[in-house]
Amino acid sequence: MPEKKKNNGWSWWYLLLLVQFVAALWVPFYNVAEPSFIGLPFFYWYQLMWIVLGAALTAIVYFATE
């Protein structure tokens, strides 16, 4: 049976989670209407983009630290 690597509770991978947290909470950065993308103002498509990127980053962190 293979031995499991000891997890000390901290990994540099967790900083990727901080990136998505800051990007979503820094509202003055994306509180504009232009540029629009397929008819959606920047404010909306930026938030929708971070939903997809956030899921991808969370999966990367999960598999890297598992």
> Given pLDDT bands bounded at 50, 70 and 90, which one contains residue 7?
low
> Given pLDDT bands bounded at 50, 70 and 90, which one contains residue 32?
confident
pLDDT of residue 9: 74
Q: Return left, alpha or beta for 39; rule: phi > 0 is left, psi -120 to 50 is alpha, else beta.
A: left
CB 18 within 8 A of CB 58: no
Name the helix (H) or strand (E) containing 65.
Answer: helix 42-65
Q: So where are the chain's domains?
A: 25-65
pLDDT of residue 64: 92
Q: Identify the residue whose tokens are 């909470």.
A: 25
